[in-house]
Amino acid sequence: MARHADTGRAFAIKILDRQRILAMKIDEQIKTEIATLKLLKHPNVVRLYEVAASKTKIYMVLEYVNGGELFEKIALKGKLSEKEGRKLFQQLMDAVSYCHERGVYHRDLKVSNY
């Protein structure tokens, strides 16, 4: 997490090691992730604000979303109420529909990714 110096607004910073990316042969996957996130601007999709790079690292400045993972929330409560589950499902379907309209398809939808 980082805070904007002037506004105090919180952002998530994803730091990727270039050597590791190359060693794992996922450089194209990372390029695709960045290009895809640049396309998407929706209230239920994490927003990418900026990408910066050094010789050794790639920094992705993302929307900071607090509240933890849905998976953890369910694990603690055991289950969600129907009302809460319906609201989250509607948000998920709205985001998936938005992505599909733009030719973006998530191949690994699961509670731990939401």
Catalytic residue selected from 6, 17, 27, 108: 108
Cα 14 to chain centroid distance, Å, stands at: 10
Kindly list the distances between the CA atom of residue 49 and the CA atoms of 14, 34, 60, 70, 83, in Å, as whole numbers in the listed order.
Answer: 11, 10, 8, 23, 32
- How far is the C-alpha of 64 from the C-alpha of 42, rounded, in Å? 14
Question: Where are the strands (E) in the chain, listed by range?
Answer: 2-3, 10-17, 48-53, 57-63
> Mind listing the pLDDT tens digit for each residue in 40-64?
999 999 999 999 999 999 999 999 9
Please report the pLDDT score of residue 109 as a whole number: 82
pLDDT in tens, 63-109: 999 988 888 888 888 888 999 999 999 999 999 999 999 999 988 88
Q: Is 114 a residue whose pLDDT tops 70?
A: no
Contact by Cβ (8 Å): 59, 34: no
Residue with more model confidence, 16 or 109? 16
108 is an active site residue: yes
pTM: 0.85
46's CB contacts (< 8 A; 6+ apart) are: 12, 37, 62, 63, 65
In the DSSP assignment, the letter for residue 47 is P
Tell me whether residue 103 is exposed, middle or buried, using C-beta atoms within 10 angstroms of its C-beta: 0 to 12, 13 to 18, 19 or more: exposed
Q: If you average pLDDT over residues 6-11, what whole number do you get?
A: 97
pLDDT band at 113 (very low <50, low <70, confident <90, very high): low
